[in-house]
Every structure is written in structure tokens, then in C-alpha cells.
Structure 1
Amino acid sequence: MIGFLAHLAAISLLYSLPVVRIRGRWRALRDLPLLKVFLIAYVWAAVTVWIPALYLHKTLTAPVVLVLFARRFFFILALAFVFDIRDYTKDLLSGTHTFPGLFGVKATKLLALLALAVAGVLIPQGVTPLYLLVLTIPIALAAVIVWYADEMRPDYYFAVLADGVMLVQFLAVYWVS
């Protein structure tokens, strides 16, 4: 367990600390082209799926755990794209290569919606229709947030809606249970 947590801690620390020298400038993992959103999605998915699975004595390679991890990864990936859209101009000015900066905001929104579609089809075996509905609500809400994402939106859009949609699934599952 300590080794597992150590790799998440290492990624989290190296995300902001300079680790690679590129053209005479030290850069953190988040500054490496297109890597930021995948690191965020991986760490959040690991923390919110694998740690509870370990607590429940489930193996990380159990089919249900793998499906839930992949589902959460693609869900968080879509939301990470939203935050890249928010930071579009700032990242361009700082030289950080992100999806919106390289491919455009519209293409990034389409990638985010594709990630949500992938998350939507990753359904754990044996899920009841009620739980399927509960699992679908956050994805539908996230799709709306992606669709209307724009760097000119107020910070509340991102802090309350984009971050808040991550809590919706927890609250819905808690309510149904």
C-alpha cells in the first residue's frame, strides 16, 4: 500500500516541481506538452477508485475495479479539458502546450465529450437500472458543463460547477444506498 501511495505522491509533487530541463528552462510535469490532463485524470481516478478498493480489500485488477477506474479516468479527463479551456490564454502566454492551445477550443470540447461518452459506456457488470441512472447523471451534467465552457466564464463556473459535478455522483450513490 505504501508503494502504491508513494507513486501517487511522486506524481503529485513532480506535477509542480521542476524535473526536466528543456531549452535551458526547468519545467514541471504539468509543463510537458499535453501531459497535464492525463496526470490529473490518473491521480484523481486512482485516489477515488483504487484507494477505496484497497480499503475494501478488492484487488486493483478485479474487473469491477478496472471498469470503475477507467470510467472515473475518462470522466475526470473531460473535466481537466474544461480547465484547460479556462486557462487557454494564460497557457498560450506562458508557453504551456495544452489541447486547446494546439488543437483549438472546439476540438478540445469534442475530445472532452468523447471522453464522457467512453465513461458512459463503461458500466460495471450487474448494475441495476437505478444505479445506472445514478452513474449517468454526473456524465450528463459534465457534458453540459463542457458544452458551455469558455475561458471568459466567471471562476464560479469552474469552481462550483466543474469541480462540483465530481461530488454529484458521490451524493447520488449515497442517497440511493
Structure 2
Amino acid sequence: MKLAKQIFNFYLDASIHVAVSVFCLLEITAVLLNININQNLAYFCFFSTIACYNFIKYGVEAEKYILVANRYFKNIQVLSFLAMGCAVYFAFFLHKDVWFCIGALGLFTGLYALPVLPKAKNLRSFGALKIFMVAIVWAGVTVLLPVLSANMSVTTDVWIETFQRFLIVLILLMPFEIRDLAYDSPSLKTIPQRFGIIHTKLASGIVVLIFFFTTYLKNTITPLDLIAKGILFLSFGFLVLYTQGKQGKYFASFWVEAFPIFWYVVIYAINYLLGNFFL
């Protein structure tokens, strides 16, 4: 039991759980937009997520990231370097248009993690700004990259799907922001610090409504898209309702980050039912 818990904690701490969620969002994009995912892109996103997230979490100070004394974090470091090597390998098989988009998203990630301003270590130091930057990167990686990789035109429906993915990430970040309220420095001025937990949850509820109803702005609305977004809409409602400042150890780090995995399973189940019983 102790070994299983250690493996599970490593799975979370080493950002593997986040990478699985990114992989699931890529597959969701393929289903909703009816495109084929380039597996080289899928593997690139999976491994680069592990490497980038671990660098942001543990390696903002490069010296501390290279000279690691703790065995547990050294294992995470080794995994991160292996993941980066795998990401570079799969990147060689990607189309040049995908590379341009990766470069732009990589720039956003660099601005988020690296010191670029004299009075702040990085843009991550701006609490209210950081969640929007994270959401932009996730939306770009999980929607625009697979679309470009499939040589598909970036239509109005693609932009709406990208915007909805941006909103999804904003919603999923709110429990983390509320959880960290007791630990964040007041100088960060995060959204919960500025407006309090109640108003943050109200704002999240409004974002949930916008997320669902923007589906009707699409030129092509499929039953799968509408049902899948409806289920996620209801799930987000419960998430906003039950998110508290005092959370269980795994509430945000596992359950909230598992939402894309849950949505992936739901979409494939709905797609199977629609394809076999209603068409």
C-alpha cells in the first residue's frame, strides 16, 4: 500500500497526470473536429508537457534544477530530461506550420517561467495574468496544433473551439487559485486575493455559462458536440459549487486535473452510442 501511494504521488508530482490530460484533450479535438491526430504530435505534446511543467514547477531557478540533492526530485529531474529528449525526437517529424505555432506557444511559456521584467521574476509573478497565459498555451496546444498538423483550415468553428478550450482551462485553474489563497504572497494579487472566494466562484459560474452557450455560435453543431459540452457544463457547475478554500490533498492535483480524462471517456462513450444506436 505504501509503495502504491509513492508511485501515485510520483505520478502527480512528475506531471504525468497533467500530460495524460493534455493527451486526452488532443484526442477530444480530433473527435469534435473530425480530424486525424498526428501521433508524432500527440507524443510530442505528452512528453513536452512533462518536461515543461516540471521545469516550471521545480526549475525556474536553473542552478537548483541542475544541482539536485534530494533523491525524489532527482528522479523527477531524470524523467524530465528523458521526456525532453523524446519530445525533441518526435518534433522532427512535425510539419513546419506546426513548428511556427509551437514556437509562438513556447515563447508564451518562456515569458511565463523565465525572468523578463526587472521588478518581477517572471510573468508568473502576476497572479491575475498567469492563468490567462496558461489557458492560452493549453488552448493553442490542444486545438490549434492538431488542426495545423492535419492541414485543416482554421475556420470560425476552430476559433470557437479554441476559445472554449481557453475557458475550460480558466475554469479548471480556479480551484488551484482558491486552494493557494492561504499560501500565495499578497503581492501576487491573484483573482481570489482581489475579489475573494465567493466572487471568484461567481465569476467562474459566468465563465461556465459562456463556455456552453458559445457552442451555438458554431456554423456546424453536431449532437456529439452539444451533448459532450452539456455534460461538461453540468460537471463544471458542481465543481464551482463544491470548490472550497480548504481542500483535500488530491482534490485539485488529481480530481480537477482529471476532468479532461473524464471528458475523454464521456465523449468516446457518447460517440459510440450515437454511432451504433442512433445513426
Q: TM-score, normalised by structure 1?
A: 0.88
Which letter maps to 2:204? Answer: A
1:161 Cα offset (Å)? 2.1
Q: Does 1:6 align with 2:103?
A: yes
**In structure 1, what is the equivalent of residue 16 of structure 2?**
none
Normalising to structure 2: TM-score of the pair?
A: 0.58
Q: Tell me whether 93-102 or 41-50 shows the greater mean CA deviation.
A: 93-102
Which of 4, 11, 20 is the aligned partner of 2:117? Answer: 20
**Aligned equivalents of 2:201, 2:225: Cα separation in 1:** 27
Report SS of the residue matched to 2:183: helix
Aligned ranges 1:50-129 → 2 under 5 Å: 50-60=144-154, 62-91=155-184, 93=185, 95-123=187-215, 124-129=218-223
How many equivalent pairs are there? Answer: 172
Change (3 A) 1:75 1:7: same
Contact map agreement 1:142 1:162 (CA 8 A) in 2: no
Task: Return the alpha-carbon distance in structure 2 between the equivalents of residues 4 and 131 of structure 1.
Answer: 25
Compared with structure 1, are the counterparts of its residues 15 and 173 closer, same or farther at alpha carbon in structure 2 (3 Å cutoff)? same
Q: Which runs of 5+ in 1 are unaligned?
A: none
Moved runs in structure 1, 4+ residues, more than 4 A?
Answer: none
State the shift of 1:50 in Å.
0.7
Deviates more, 1:11-20 or 1:65-74: 11-20
Q: Read off the aligned partner of 2:205 and give its amino acid letter.
A: L
Structure with the greater alpha carbon radius of gyration: 2
User: AA paired with 2:248?
Assistant: P
Q: CA deviation at 1:42?
A: 0.7
Q: Secondary structure at the match of 2:142?
A: helix
Q: 1:35 aligns with which of 129, 136, 149?
A: 129
Counterpart of 2:199, as a letter, is A
Query: What residue number does 1:48 align with?
Result: 142
Instruction: Compute the displacement of 1:94 (Å).
Output: 5.8
1:105 Cα deviation from its structure 2 partner: 0.8
Conserved 8 A contact 2:178-2:245: yes
1:86 alignment partner, SS class: helix
Q: Higher helix fraction: Structure 1 or Structure 2?
A: 2
Q: Could you list the per-position Cα deviations for residues 116-165 of structure 1 after superposition, in whole angstroms to 9, with x for gaps in the alignment?
A: 11110111333233431122212221221122112311131112221111
